Chains A and B, each alone.
Chain A
């Protein structure tokens, strides 16, 4: 399914023989009360243009022999834009023939001038797909254009051939960063004649990863300048709100965007589905899993090819088991249901993709692994077991059904997670909203510094040269102080016995990942890596660390050596770290002070102490014990948005300081949910905290279910005893130095507060629940105390109009 229509029509009752239509009709009829919203996108016919006259006749022949006699309008537009030497980004739905948009100009240039092209895909699998497609096109009419993949799997003796003989080299950003750019002299011939750089699946380059990739592109452009070339960029993306902007940020050039697809599309039904309430008192709903299996079974029985997306590898396996129990119980027949996820071998994955394309499977259950453009053929139904977290990601997955001009059905099933419940209860928000903005911050100091190191290794920097939008000379002087570069005359030279790219991971900000070592039965094997920043909350001694749903217990953590030693366990619980987070406001970049409150964004210093962990039993989710964590405090400078209230308004509205505190904590919970959704961020990119803004005290939810103040050493405080009571609610960027989340967060503060208010007020619970302001104790429920009410009062105070 593509970009949602501007308005959504009321579905007509259609009588057709199309099984997908029939399924949608039946679901509507039988489960009307579970469907909270729906969208019907009518079929559109294709719009075509003739093949460009300038196209090389050999290329025309190759297209004819594959049955292509004309182009879709967006393909023709891409051709024209590229011929006009514009950097171009193409944003059209899955299966709209995007690859031809870049393959045509690239092949043309290869045939005419033996010009070279570099293709970047986020994963190896996509790179291999692309080379297979190019080879197929090449073989129909022998074009003599050579396309090769170049990645970690390329054997050493084949690498030279790729460098010197490849017309099109297909690789990934990590390989470009570590394997190609630092060895650019070996690629001299290639860079001298490099005409095009193709970046597919551009929408995956956002956040930290995208910020790194933008810097890798800066380095690529710098190397190209050295060899006297200036390649044109062609980018492709799934639907996001700001393709031209993201493309521009990534390649540091103006980019022309093509967003109108000319490809035909079948009709599409989308149903938003909330599982029924099974316990009205506690507001407990049936599991998303039960609904997913029910709908999928119905579809497969009716002969619909289906795909199910789940949020975790574990859920993929569970759903696959349930569906296999229904359809694959007879071993004499070939399997109809399969699971697809990361962790399988590439050959297994290729085999499964082939089975899907050839229609041998009726149903596949997948993680986000199939979200990207791997060709899996025509599917009729797509079920999302839980909200994928972003609007763009949701459309991307739903797009997996109905690739080839057939009616398709998509069902989004909400889990009990707060974000899911928000989406499902506010269908207008989801259906009417434009997809999120994808943002990057290539000038984030630490990321930029990493790539300046890599770039200095590749070529000396000259005085007056620019790299990024910070003062390059100051950055280089900083590196010189640390003995990494050396200034001589007007140049800075790399001067260290190391290979900097090996120490820079494109997927994280901090250096120094931890390795997890399995010591079960005397063994010593590395089984996982953990990001530096998430180490203190995941691999403390005593923690249960899950790998492929198998539990391991952390026995010992070697912080200096960056190692965690674990062993297999049979624990029936998982662990959840308890942290005390204190924030100190260092600097206000911007601030507004409407009557009742102040809202600001700026720089903060954060100290996080992990004091202990809870053991939580599976299924019942009851707390079965506590453990202590002994780690030194984690410090971070980052950016944040915060709200503070006029103390007079506080006293006026709330009966006590305790009530106000509860209000802050509940409102923070709701604001966090909404902000994460609005910012297209990964879970954990944003953190939240309540404190005084001066790191003197902070508040957490105590075991009593009430807000609990603690001082710097973690001892309890009574809010009523404080002379100054200025509770501050923070939403902070969870990366050292910040990754550019808070500035846009601040800009959309009014909408976020309004959304949070709606989230809480529209929630069906009486006094608060995990879907709005966080879990509350049943004793509060009994006493009639309403954390929900105080949270709403607080949100009302901070939503007052700004002057």
Chain B
């Protein structure tokens, strides 16, 4: 008996629970019968299907090739986004450690993809970018309406990137850029962004606000830092389904919302760049983590970090004070360092007590004070070693000064 008739007979015996439309072929019915996998059938609601041309119109874009829609927008810098003046973008926002880049040679990028899981089965169906000129933000998006158009879109996107010195993204280092690299690789095209320096604003946002905010998603940033809340936004997580339903059934309403969502993402990204660089200047104004900023600054600019801490001295946490003392010490400003340590020591900070012990032993050469602080340290091997060494040093030295500032403890 051949496969076909065998399957046909199986079908007949499978009974009524299979409501699938008259199965035209047998292997499929056999699969349906034995499957234990949980595949869910998509419910198809009939509706009029949208053409690429209509979609292009609706998003104010144009078809630049079969299946590729380019959307261009021009937003004057005289406007505002939330409470951010867009003109501030021309002030060349800069984060600690970043080289100076002309803001016109900086490109902002965000993508919408068919999934969040990564891997070669996920693609970016919408790639958005923005650059600045003297008066406006030039926004440009590439949307594909079929799989076959991807290669063409990737090429068009690559060509539109000219003379950029840096790209800026939100979570692009671990998400958008590896995904684009995969897509270029899948089409054996060279990846235009591979060598470009990359600022991922998620990382500074985390540094500045991790302790302050419940999470560091872009929408949270918009609310807390840019002062607005999106209305009628299609959540990013629904983007894959929006594209799928256009591809499958020509239902474009949600896909149009994805295009708007992506525009908002890019604008927020640009505004966030400005605002983050302001928050670094004035942490208190934006309730940013001053200590984290100072630590970050100190990696490249110790003086800047000290100035920042001095500006915020009224509201420093103990961590920030320890950092301030550490920077003062490195700078040879022992009076500031010891002042901070003494204050901290009074509050029971043993690290500061140890710093003081070291300072008096090695710098100030006041062994008795050193011994006094050493005795205040938690008992342990390191402490007893230090104490023994101090006692030996004291034995070798004529008795002199008394412990005066011990009283101030």
Which chain A positions have C-beta within 8 A of B115?
Answer: 496-499
Select which of B20, B28, B38, B120 is within 8 A of A457 by beta carbon.
B120
B side interface size, CB within 8 A:
42
Among A15-23, A138-146, A182-190, A776-784, which stretch is in contact with chain B? A182-190
Summarize A's interface: helix, strand, loop or mixed: mixed
Which chain A positions have C-beta within 8 A of B30?
Answer: 445
Interfacial residues of chain A within 144-188, with CB under 8 A of chain B in the complex: 182-186, 188
B100 in the interface (beta carbon within 8 A):
no
A side interface size, CB within 8 A:
53
Which chain A positions have C-beta within 8 A of B244?
Answer: 483, 486, 495-497
Cα A392 to Cα B114 with chains together (Å): 48
Which chain A positions have C-beta within 8 A of B396?
Answer: none
B181 in the interface (beta carbon within 8 A):
yes
A510 in the interface (beta carbon within 8 A):
yes
Select which of A449, A470, A495 is within 8 A of B247 by beta carbon.
A495
Given A458-B120, A498-B117: A637 touches B241 (CB 8 Å cut-off):
no
Q: Contact between A586 and B13 (Cβ–Cβ < 8 Å)?
A: yes
B41 in the interface (beta carbon within 8 A):
yes
Q: Contact between B10 and A586 (Cβ–Cβ < 8 Å)?
A: yes
Which chain A positions have C-beta within 8 A of B181?
Answer: 185
A773 in the interface (beta carbon within 8 A):
no
B172 in the interface (beta carbon within 8 A):
no
Q: Contact between B10 and A603 (Cβ–Cβ < 8 Å)?
A: yes
Cα A141 to Cα B13 with chains together (Å): 69
Select which of A185, A456, A497 is within 8 A of B116 by beta carbon.
A497
Cα A450 to Cα B181 with chains together (Å): 27
Given A483-B41, A491-B147, A495-B114: A459 touches B28 (CB 8 Å cut-off):
no
Given A446-B34, A483-B41, A736-B34: A474 touches B121 (CB 8 Å cut-off):
no
Cα A270 to Cα B116 with chains together (Å): 58
Q: Shortest distance in angstroms between B392's beta carbon and chain A's nearest beta carbon?
A: 43
Which chain B positions have C-beta within 8 A of A470?
Answer: 27
Q: Contact between A637 and B9 (Cβ–Cβ < 8 Å)?
A: no
A512 in the interface (beta carbon within 8 A):
yes
Q: Shortest distance in angstroms between B153's beta carbon and chain A's nearest beta carbon?
A: 15
Interfacial residues of chain B within 3-35, with CB under 8 A of chain A in the complex: 6, 9-10, 13, 20, 25, 27-28, 30-35
Q: Contact between B28 and A478 (Cβ–Cβ < 8 Å)?
A: yes
Residue of A nearest to B185 (CB): A185
Cα A749 to Cα B35 with chains together (Å): 29
Select which of A183, A495, A512 is within 8 A of B38 by beta carbon.
A512
Cα A795 to Cα B282 with chains together (Å): 92
Residue of B nearest to A638 (CB): B34
Q: Contact between B36 and A458 (Cβ–Cβ < 8 Å)?
A: no
Select which of A184, A474, A488, A586 is within 8 A of B120 by beta carbon.
A184
Residue of B nearest to A501 (CB): B119
B231 in the interface (beta carbon within 8 A):
no
* Cβ contacts B102-123/A at 8 Å (1 or 0 each): 0000000000001111111100
Q: Shortest distance in angstroms between B127's beta carbon and chain A's nearest beta carbon?
A: 17
Interfacial residues of chain A within 430-476, with CB under 8 A of chain B in the complex: 445-446, 449-450, 456-460, 470-471, 474-475
* Cβ contacts A725-746/B at 8 Å (1 or 0 each): 0000000000011000000000
A133 in the interface (beta carbon within 8 A):
no
B37 in the interface (beta carbon within 8 A):
yes
Cα A637 to Cα B32 with chains together (Å): 11
Given A182-B120, A497-B116, A587-B9: A481 touches B147 (CB 8 Å cut-off):
no
Q: Contact between B37 and A450 (Cβ–Cβ < 8 Å)?
A: yes
Cα A491 to Cα B148 with chains together (Å): 9
A482 in the interface (beta carbon within 8 A):
yes
Q: Shortest distance in angstroms between A442's beta carbon and chain B's nearest beta carbon?
A: 16
Select which of B33, B39, B119, B121 is within 8 A of A637 by beta carbon.
B33
Cα A512 to Cα B35 with chains together (Å): 12
Given A457-B121, A586-B13, A737-B34: A489 touches B148 (CB 8 Å cut-off):
yes
Which chain A positions have C-beta within 8 A of B186?
Answer: 185, 459
Cα A176 to Cα B208 with chains together (Å): 39
Residue of B nearest to A486 (CB): B247
Cα A568 to Cα B28 with chains together (Å): 46
Q: Contact between B120 and A459 (Cβ–Cβ < 8 Å)?
A: yes
Residue of A nearest to B248 (CB): A486
Q: Shortest distance in angstroms between B67's beta carbon and chain A's nearest beta carbon?
A: 10
Q: Shortest distance in angstroms between A354's beta carbon and chain B's nearest beta carbon?
A: 33
Q: Shortest distance in angstroms between B267's beta carbon and chain A's nearest beta carbon?
A: 26
Residue of B nearest to A449 (CB): B31
Given A478-B28, A586-B10: A497 touches B117 (CB 8 Å cut-off):
yes
A203 in the interface (beta carbon within 8 A):
no
Residue of A nearest to B239 (CB): A497
Which chain B positions have C-beta within 8 A of A637?
Answer: 33-34
Residue of A nearest to B12 (CB): A586
Which chain A positions have C-beta within 8 A of B118?
Answer: 183, 499
Which chain A positions have C-beta within 8 A of B25?
Answer: 474, 477
Q: Shortest distance in angstroms between A486's beta carbon and chain B's nearest beta carbon?
A: 6
Q: Contact between A182 and B121 (Cβ–Cβ < 8 Å)?
A: yes
Q: Shortest distance in angstroms between B275's beta carbon and chain A's nearest beta carbon?
A: 31
Which chain B positions have C-beta within 8 A of A481?
Answer: 20, 28, 41
Residue with the greatest number of chain A CB neighbours at <10 A, chosen from B6, B10, B34, B147? B34
Residue of A nearest to B181 (CB): A185
Q: Shortest distance in angstroms between B56's beta carbon and chain A's nearest beta carbon?
A: 19
Q: Contact between B119 and A499 (Cβ–Cβ < 8 Å)?
A: yes
B206 in the interface (beta carbon within 8 A):
no
Which chain B positions have C-beta within 8 A of A450?
Answer: 37
* Cβ contacts A55-67/B at 8 Å (1 or 0 each): 0000000000000
Select which of A482, A502, A532 is within 8 A of B39 by beta carbon.
A482
Q: Contact between A587 and B6 (Cβ–Cβ < 8 Å)?
A: yes
Given A460-B147, A477-B28, A586-B13: A497 touches B36 (CB 8 Å cut-off):
no
B42 in the interface (beta carbon within 8 A):
yes
Q: Contact between B248 and A488 (Cβ–Cβ < 8 Å)?
A: no
Q: Contact between B240 and A446 (Cβ–Cβ < 8 Å)?
A: no
Select which of A482, A488, A509 is within 8 A of B40 by beta carbon.
A482
B182 in the interface (beta carbon within 8 A):
yes
Residue of A nearest to B114 (CB): A497
B146 in the interface (beta carbon within 8 A):
yes
Which chain B positions have C-beta within 8 A of A195?
Answer: none
Which chain B positions have C-beta within 8 A of A477?
Answer: 25, 28
Q: Contact between A532 and B27 (Cβ–Cβ < 8 Å)?
A: no
Interfacial residues of chain B within 151-193, with CB under 8 A of chain A in the complex: 181-182, 185-186
Select which of B31, B39, B120 is within 8 A of A185 by beta carbon.
B120
Residue of A nearest to B37 (CB): A511
Q: Contact between B114 and A474 (Cβ–Cβ < 8 Å)?
A: no
Q: Contact between A185 and B182 (Cβ–Cβ < 8 Å)?
A: yes
Cα A129 to Cα B248 with chains together (Å): 50
Q: Contact between A445 and B121 (Cβ–Cβ < 8 Å)?
A: no
Which chain B positions have C-beta within 8 A of A532?
Answer: 36
Given A471-B27, A493-B147, A587-B6: A457 touches B39 (CB 8 Å cut-off):
no
Q: Contact between A188 and B27 (Cβ–Cβ < 8 Å)?
A: no
Q: Shortest distance in angstroms between B212's beta carbon and chain A's nearest beta carbon?
A: 28
A514 in the interface (beta carbon within 8 A):
no
What are the 8 tightest A-B residue pairs by CB atom distance, in nearest-first order? A457-B121, A499-B117, A494-B121, A497-B115, A185-B185, A483-B42, A182-B119, A482-B39
Q: List 26 A-B contacts (CB under 8 A).
A: A182-B119, A183-B118, A445-B27, A446-B31, A456-B121, A457-B119, A457-B120, A460-B147, A474-B25, A481-B20, A482-B39, A483-B42, A483-B244, A488-B146, A488-B147, A489-B148, A493-B147, A497-B115, A497-B244, A499-B121, A586-B10, A586-B13, A587-B1, A589-B6, A605-B13, A736-B36
Known A446-B37, A512-B36; further 4 A-B contacts with Cβ < 8 A? A185-B182, A188-B185, A459-B186, A460-B147
Binding site for B on A (CB under 8 A): 182-186, 188, 445-446, 449-450, 456-460, 470-471, 474-475, 477-479, 481-484, 486, 488-489, 491, 493-500, 502, 509-512, 532, 586-587, 589, 603, 605, 636-637, 736-737
Binding site for A on B (CB under 8 A): 1, 6, 9-10, 13, 20, 25, 27-28, 30-42, 114-121, 146-148, 181-182, 185-186, 240-241, 244, 247-248
